[in-house]
Structure 1
Amino acid sequence: MKKIVKSSMVVLALGLGLSIGSSEEAEAMYESPYSYFNDYGIRQGLFSDVDAFYSKSYRAEMEQLMEKHEKGLISDDEFDKLSEQLTESDEKNLLERATLFDHYGLVKKADIQNITHFDTDFEEYSSLAGMEQMTTLEQIQGEGGNFNSFRELAALKKLKTVMLEANNQLTLNSFKNLKDLETIRLLFDGYEDNEEQRSRVYTQALPTDISALSNLDKLNKIEISARGRMATVTLKKGTTSYQLFDPIVPSKQFEGATMKYSSDSESDEWLEWNNLNGDEQYLAFSWRIEKGPNFSYAGEGQIPIRWK
């Protein structure tokens, strides 16, 4: 299958008037200049962003030609010739991009480097695989996705803003070296899909530790809302109470702020459940910590019980 795709792309290159050398050179050329993204939403959004970039560039160049023409710097004939060449080049570029995308789902790596902001609606089961190639990206945001990992974002050193939905992550270690990060807004909904919400029992891991953000000195806005489950606890039958000390770990941006835990009681240090009867499926709790208007970390958790 891989050889068939390569051969097809060589034929495509010839059809587009691209220059190719030996088969080895062609193979190297068509393995490296293009990127493929598994997630349809990412592919579609990226193609739209690249298309918008070229459209903007075309308009800017055309406006420059018109300005030169109006100022008498180029003649009517020169303007007609240059504008026609510009339009033909833009149309050829569009045809090449559209053909690669429509037939193979491919985007040129060189085009990806022109994208600094990415905003799209992600598929329900999404992966950020391939995003590590977008090294010029400064902002990524979108609804949906429920990403189980942010590891691809760790390579994007220019990221300033992250606004995403996610699930099943205990920590935010993927962000710890993104020194330019200024804003992070994350939503963890606790369910793998919409069907699970009917049971009201969280199935995804709860992010309880955001201390990885502590060394990001440019970070001036944190907004994290989380739901999920913690590790199962085993309780002996007949146990009527349970206490857990300070399970949520905020980042240093929250220093001086007071944690507010809510379970069977209110506390700034621990969770406590009383009058257990042995029928409980889980222990429920919530928390909130805020510092000023720009730093918020709150959520709801469940601790499954194994009665023994």
Structure 2
Amino acid sequence: MKKIDCLKRVLVAGGLGLLFGFPLAASANELDYVHFPDATLRDELVYKSEYYLRDKYDQKREEIEAENQAKQEQLQTAFDAEVARFEAIQADYDEQYNQLDADLNNGLITQEEYDRKYAELNKKVEELDQQREVAMEKYDKDVEEQDNIYHQALAENNKNNENENEFIRKYELFDKKFIASVEGISPDWTDPYSSLNGLEFAVNLKRLSGEQTTPFGDLRPINKLTKLEEIYSVVASNQGSLIDLKDLTSLKELRFSFSGYGTEEEYYDNRDNMYTRTLLTDISALSNLPQLNEISLYAEGIMTPVTLKQGTDSYQIYDPIILSSQFDGQAITYTSGMDENTDSSEELKWENLTGTEKYLPFSWSVTKGNYHFSGRGQVPLRWK
């Protein structure tokens, strides 16, 4: 049985409370947790969660220590007040002893009166000593009880840390509070079906990067991450769209590639060397990002198929790439893949067609300061 299926059964049977060994499980709700379909992203988050939990339980330990210190100080203050009260009473009794001696020596009281009052005073002193002993025993007991509470809380805190780490490693579910604390993600992205799903909860994410072999098919999970500042070395299939980045107004650096293939299998199984994904031709959505000071984009893909009549020996298209405002005033250099010496800033032209071509290849490049956009495209042909 797959572990996630097993998890679902446990959730149905008894809720998350049965999975946890720490107190907050009693009120935990499965809606408070996120599962990421991308295995390499899960691995990255498991690693990061160890530091998050370490800090979380270190902070809890500090709170326990501070609370214990406060309780110990309260006990000590209360005991010191009792000791001061006993000392004040004892001082009064000592004064009464002295007064009795003086009254006897001065003939103000008889020996019989002296003995009676002295005995009465001795009884009070004995009672005071008993009260002092009871107070001392109570103080010692309270200190010991507080010490037990303190060490029990520390042990429980350590156990909760171990249990939560074990839960994450075993079920690969992540608390939304932890996900919201993540500021940087940089996994290997080696999952055959790379996915950003789940990152919509990383509301404080600032950096998204990583070495990638499989492109993302959907960028929508990050389209509301308004604190995102860097997207570096990320690869998307052309199912993804820069439109999904238009609200990332904190974005400063964008290094993105759009693959002409959706998966590695598509690349290796393609004998015609023909792209399988639609070409990204419009990056105007980036015009909405005022803080963007570096752009490095590369795109591959196919354009809309064209039908040509047999005997047609040439074809041309005019300036198919739409730039963002960051490139204002800069011309694009186009190159027809059938004639590397044919460069143009406006049009693409293919000549000497034979009627056997499956597609028309081309490339382009444009650079303005720190902004760069280049790529390779193909125009699929249908001959009639």
Which TM bucket (shorter chain)? 0.7 to 0.9
Distance 1:57 1:137, change over 3 A: same
**Structure 1 stretch 228-237 or stretch 81-90: which is displaced more?**
81-90
State whether structure 2 residue 192 is matched by structure 1 residue 128.
no
Q: CA RMSD in A?
A: 3.1
**2:161 alignment counterpart:** 93
Q: Which of 144, 150, 159 matches 2:228?
A: 159
Q: Report if aligned partners of 1:170, 1:207 keep a CA contact under 8 Å in 2.
A: no
Instruction: State the alpha-carbon separation in 2 of the partners of residues 11 and 159 from structure 1.
Output: 34
TM-score (norm 1): 0.83
What SS does the aligned partner of 1:132 have?
Answer: helix
Q: CA deviation at 1:271?
A: 0.6
Q: How is 1:222-241 mapped onto 2 (pairs within 5 angstroms)?
A: 222-241=295-314
Distance 1:15 1:271, change over 3 A: same
State whether structure 2 residue 18 is matched by structure 1 residue 12.
yes
Q: Report if aligned partners of 1:139, 1:160 keep a CA contact under 8 Å in 2.
A: yes
What SS does the aligned partner of 1:113 have?
Answer: helix
Distance 1:18 1:57, change over 3 A: closer
**Structure showing the higher strand proportion among its residues:** 1
Q: CA deviation at 1:86?
A: 5.9
Instruction: State the alpha-carbon separation in 1 of the partners of residues 256 and 182 from structure 2.
Output: 22
Q: Report if aligned partners of 1:36, 1:106 keep a CA contact under 8 Å in 2.
A: yes
Q: Report if aligned partners of 2:57, 2:161 keep a CA contact under 8 Å in 1.
A: no
Q: CA deviation at 1:113?
A: 1.5
Q: Report if aligned partners of 1:222, 1:296 keep a CA contact under 8 Å in 2.
A: yes
Instruction: State the alpha-carbon separation in 1 of the partners of residues 335 and 297 from structure 2.
Output: 18
State whether structure 2 residue 209 is matched by structure 1 residue 141.
yes
Gap runs ≥5 in structure 2: 63-72, 74-148
Distance 1:45 1:14, change over 3 A: closer
Higher Rg of the two aligned structures: 2
**2:33 alignment counterpart:** 34
Q: Which of 364, 367, 371 matches 1:295?
A: 371
**2:320 alignment counterpart:** 247
Instruction: State the alpha-carbon separation in 2 of the partners of residues 85 and 278 from structure 1.
Output: 81
What SS does the aligned partner of 1:120 have?
Answer: coil
What SS does the aligned partner of 2:326 have?
Answer: helix
**2:345 alignment counterpart:** 268
Distance 1:41 1:170, change over 3 A: closer
**1:187 alignment counterpart:** 257
Which letter does structure 2 place at the counterpart of 1:89? N
Q: How is 1:200-239 mapped onto 2 (pairs within 5 angstroms)?
A: 200-239=273-312
Q: CA deviation at 1:145?
A: 3.5
What SS does the aligned partner of 1:144 have?
Answer: coil
What SS does the aligned partner of 2:311 have?
Answer: coil
Q: CA deviation at 1:229?
A: 1.2
Instruction: State the alpha-carbon separation in 2 of the partners of residues 58 and 260 from structure 1.
Output: 57
Instruction: State the alpha-carbon separation in 2 of the partners of residues 252 and 82 from structure 1.
Output: 62
Q: Which of 326, 344, 357 matches 1:280?
A: 357
Q: Report if aligned partners of 2:229, 2:250 keep a CA contact under 8 Å in 1.
A: yes
Q: CA deviation at 1:184?
A: 0.8
Q: Report if aligned partners of 2:216, 2:240 keep a CA contact under 8 Å in 1.
A: no
Gap runs ≥5 in structure 1: 21-25, 64-73, 75-80
Q: Report if aligned partners of 2:218, 2:240 keep a CA contact under 8 Å in 1.
A: no
State whether structure 2 residue 241 is matched by structure 1 residue 168.
no
Instruction: State the alpha-carbon separation in 1 of the partners of residues 46 and 289 from structure 2.
Output: 32
Distance 1:196 1:113, change over 3 A: closer
- Give identity over the alignment, percent: 38
**Structure showing the higher helix proportion among its residues:** 2
Q: Report if aligned partners of 1:113, 1:135 keep a CA contact under 8 Å in 2.
A: yes
Which letter does structure 2 place at the counterpart of 1:35? V
**Structure 1 stretch 245-254 or stretch 161-170: which is displaced more?**
161-170
Q: Report if aligned partners of 2:207, 2:231 keep a CA contact under 8 Å in 1.
A: yes
Q: Deviations over 1:57-111 (max 9, x none)?
A: 6679999xxxxxxxxxx9xxxxxx9899668625522421321441x32111111
Distance 1:169 1:14, change over 3 A: closer
What is the total number of aligned residue pairs between the two structures? 289
Instruction: State the alpha-carbon separation in 1 of the partners of residues 186 and 155 from structure 2.
Output: 28
TM-score (norm 2): 0.67
Q: Report if aligned partners of 1:167, 1:191 keep a CA contact under 8 Å in 2.
A: yes
Which letter does structure 2 place at the counterpart of 1:152? P
**2:129 alignment counterpart:** none
Instruction: State the alpha-carbon separation in 2 of the partners of residues 170 and 11 from structure 1.
Output: 38
